Chains A and B, each alone.
Chain A
Amino acid sequence: MRVRAQMSMLFHLDKCICCHTCSVACKNLWTDRPGAEYMWWNNVETRPGTGYPTGWEDQDHYKGGWKRDEKGRLKLTLHSKAGGLGKLFYNPSLPELEDYYDPFTFKYGDLFDTPQQEHQPTAVPISKITGKEMEVNGGPNWDDDLGGSDVFARNDISLEGVDDTVRAQMEEIERVVFNYLPRICNHCLNPACVAACPSGAIYKRGEDGVVLVNEDKCKGWRMCVAACPYKKVFYNWDTGKSEKCILCFPRMETGQAPACAHSCVGRIRYMGVLLYDADRIEEAVSLPDDELLDGQLDIILDPYDPAVITAAKASGIDDGWLDAAQRSPVYKFVKEWGMALPLHAEYRTAAMMFYVPPLSPVMSTIERNMVNLDLDAERVDFELLDQLDKARLPVKYLANLFSVGDEEPIRKALRIMLAVRSYKRLQSVDQSIDKTTTAMLASAGLTEELAEEIYKLTTIPTIDDRFVFPPYHREMSIEAMEDVMEHRGMAGFGALEAPHRGA
């Protein structure tokens, strides 16, 4: 057992309101520069939908992630090493700007400078690349709230396997349903971006698992952009270097949450340490599809286990980090409660950001039945608990996103959430906790104490409950002994020199 620590983020999707505060906080901090305008290291997409960049989950097209060959060996989907070198001059799997969008601004000056005329002047859109007038055909969050749309929702490839009648229903105006999916780089344990980089410019930090691009070593071969199945490495057309989410490591190193998490209006984000067994990564990501999810969750170690603690100490993890790992809210949601899952574990990168799947409104047919049955509104959740298949957001769809198509882990998480919700409602509104209530909790695998604990961390956590950061001890890091400025190149962002194209 070789223990390493990972800073991990958890997204409680049931709480996301798609306000994009996270995206804007990130953009203001990191990507408001020439060449990076189109990048959203944090984006929030409406699902079912095609996401950003368009259709990023289509790995037949983009060749992201890893695959398992017939002999059970792991292969990078994009290329073999020699094959990668052969494609340096043209990478057929690279997304084009149109797959994101053509960044634009408006000619605001015209509003002031236009000479007097009969009609009001307008600010026409201009391209941020060419500076010329352009027609805007796409932009950030172009798909916002367009659930049921035949352009976005219908083309979501994660709807595969969802019953055709259900799919048709999802496009009917009364039954449209959608949820929001905030995405950042998953800071994977088996990152495809690192593996694909011919220059060896991308690396995973041993201490906290943050995956970074060394801007000094990057030569702009852009294999990482294609290889990341989540499309979370971006190519800066101005500097000729790749850039990606840095998990705001300069903030984490000083005990602050990343900008997206810190600014989250819905308070849906949690952060904490996960310990994992680095010796077993390869084995875990090479398992057959149906064992993948369990395999990935299995290498996350119990921070209370004495054997793990000893091994962690031997691997250089200090008490501060161990303590943080024990108090980690992410560990609770992922391992203790089994409520959170990684996005698309089938990409075999062992993504380290986790999602609590969202609840959905009850199908109207059931709602009508409820009314017929004369049940109180409060009991609706209660009923849904056993009728998850009637939930408006198909369980199969969520399973395609979060559990490699297996509906069981999704059902488990949703039932826990529904049970806690019903329990709290019965407790605080009806004040009628009885045997049925405890039976209901038990059917979701909960006790009253556990339900309380889940309720607290879900609904009324303080900022210190949501974000548990270990002491980074920057004074012990290698850069601390050197000129700080010299190491900014290692940071994955920023530049000591103005980049010059053509030079």
Chain B
Amino acid sequence: MSTNDLLFGVFPYVAGALLVVVTVIRWRFRPFSISSLSSQLLESRRLYWGSVPFHWGLSTILVGHFVALIIPRGFEIWNGAPLRLYLLEATGLALGLWAAFGIGVLAYRRFTNARIRAVSSTMDFVVLGVVALQIFSGVWIAVGYRWGSFWGTSVFVPYVRSILTFDPKPEYVDPLPFALQLHAFTFWVFLALMPFTRLVHIITLPLGYLTRPWQRVVRMRESPAVYHPASEKPLERQH
């Protein structure tokens, strides 16, 4: 088995397995350890300039990637007219640069602010490094190998789909330039790291907030007869 097979054929499954199994275990048995670990209380100004561009930039691009993966045809049709292709590419690049700017500020903040430094763990730095590599390889591709939204659907999407359908075709990645390989590989690393690090907070995106009532009343005693059906709940059993 070649290194390429190992990195792009086997490792994605290792990463995926870790992601699912460890996340479930952590969610179920160590829920207290899951947090966004915000440090806004300790430093706010630089966080604003870092966190907002980083999170919004990255999550928008990520959604874009997913759309490309699910409906590559849609991308191809959209890119049929050059003007729309330019528009999409420019937006993607701008978002990438925005996220890159954000993570730059966050890294600077983590290294130079005494308080943030003091509360940073080794894993914080590892996460920072991996995500930075992801973003920079992405920007590198956008600049160095232009029109990614155009060729991506035929070059990258088949590979990712092959992984998702359990029919791995790592050979698709083999001939690609280094920047593309790096971008793909750091994504798998990102997935593998997620359950072990603060990145796990991604899965906690609290969308349920949109539909829940404002107030929550929890009953300590088991007497459902007296609960108000809409607004009161019994203490949750956790196991």
- Residues of chain A touching chain B, judged by Cβ–Cβ distance below 8 Å, are 2, 76, 81-82, 84-85, 88-92, 94-97, 127, 129-132, 190-191, 194-195, 197-200, 202-207, 215-222, 235, 237-241, 278, 314-316, 473, 476-479, 481-483, 486-487, 489-490, 495-497, 499-503
Partner of A89, one of B31, B52, B209, B237: B52
Known contacts A489-B238, A502-B124; A129/B32 CB under 8 A: no
Most-contacted residue by chain B among A2, A205, A478 (CB, 10 A): A478
Partner of A97, one of B42, B114, B198, B234: B42
* Chain B residues positioned under 8 Å from A495 (CB to CB): 32
Taking the closest CB of chain B, its distance from the CB of A349, in whole angstroms, is 11
Partner of A489, one of B31, B114, B210: B31
Q: What are 19 A-B pairs with beta-carbon distances under 8 A?
A: A85-B207, A85-B210, A94-B44, A190-B215, A194-B216, A198-B206, A200-B212, A203-B217, A207-B220, A215-B32, A216-B31, A235-B38, A237-B39, A237-B119, A241-B32, A476-B221, A479-B220, A501-B119, A501-B120
Interface residues on B, range: 35 or more
Known contacts A203-B216, A206-B218; A90/B235 CB under 8 A: no
| Residues B33 and A194 in contact, CB atoms below 8 Å apart | no
* Chain A residues positioned under 8 Å from B239 (CB to CB): 482-483, 486
Taking the closest CB of chain B, its distance from the CB of A106, in whole angstroms, is 18
| Residues B35 and A85 in contact, CB atoms below 8 Å apart | no
Interface positions, chain B 177-198, Cβ under 8 Å from A, are 196-198
Closest 9 pairs (CB-CB, A-B): A502-B121, A240-B35, A316-B226, A198-B206, A216-B31, A240-B37, A220-B35, A206-B219, A502-B123
Q: Which residue of B lies closest to A215 (CB)?
A: B32
Known contacts A82-B210, A90-B40; A316/B225 CB under 8 A: yes
| Residues A220 and B38 in contact, CB atoms below 8 Å apart | yes
Partner of A129, one of B31, B118, B221, B222: B118
Partner of B209, one of A200, A238, A497: A200
Q: How far is A239 from B43 in the complex, measured between Cα atoms in Å? A: 16
Q: Which residue of B lies closest to A474 (CB)?
A: B220
Taking the closest CB of chain A, its distance from the CB of B101, in whole angstroms, is 14
Known A222-B38, A482-B239; 12 more pairs at CB < 8 Å: A88-B36, A90-B47, A206-B218, A215-B32, A219-B206, A235-B41, A477-B221, A479-B220, A481-B222, A495-B32, A497-B30, A502-B197
Q: How far is A198 from B40 in the complex, measured between Cα atoms in Å? A: 17
Q: How far is A106 from B239 in the complex, measured between Cα atoms in Å? A: 45
| Residues A500 and B33 in contact, CB atoms below 8 Å apart | yes
| Residues B216 and A202 in contact, CB atoms below 8 Å apart | yes
* Chain A residues positioned under 8 Å from B197 (CB to CB): 502-503
Interface positions, chain B 85-113, Cβ under 8 Å from A, are none
* Chain B residues positioned under 8 Å from A316 (CB to CB): 221, 223, 225-226
* Chain A residues positioned under 8 Å from B161 (CB to CB): none
Most-contacted residue by chain A among B37, B205, B228 (CB, 10 A): B37
Within 8 Å of chain A (Cβ to Cβ): is B73? no
Q: How far is A198 from B209 in the complex, measured between Cα atoms in Å? A: 5
* Chain B residues positioned under 8 Å from A130 (CB to CB): 114-115, 117-118
Q: Which residue of B lies closest to A483 (CB)?
A: B239
Q: How far is A195 from B214 in the complex, measured between Cα atoms in Å? A: 5
| Residues A497 and B33 in contact, CB atoms below 8 Å apart | yes
Taking the closest CB of chain A, its distance from the CB of B103, in whole angstroms, is 13
CB-CB contacts of B6-33 with A at 8 A, as 1s and 0s?
Answer: 0000000000000000000000001111
* Chain A residues positioned under 8 Å from B206 (CB to CB): 85, 88, 198-200, 219, 221
| Residues B124 and A89 in contact, CB atoms below 8 Å apart | no
Taking the closest CB of chain B, its distance from the CB of A100, in whole angstroms, is 9
Known contacts A239-B35, A477-B220, A501-B124; A94/B118 CB under 8 A: no
Within 8 Å of chain A (Cβ to Cβ): is B84? no
Within 8 Å of chain A (Cβ to Cβ): is B151? no
| Residues B232 and A503 in contact, CB atoms below 8 Å apart | no
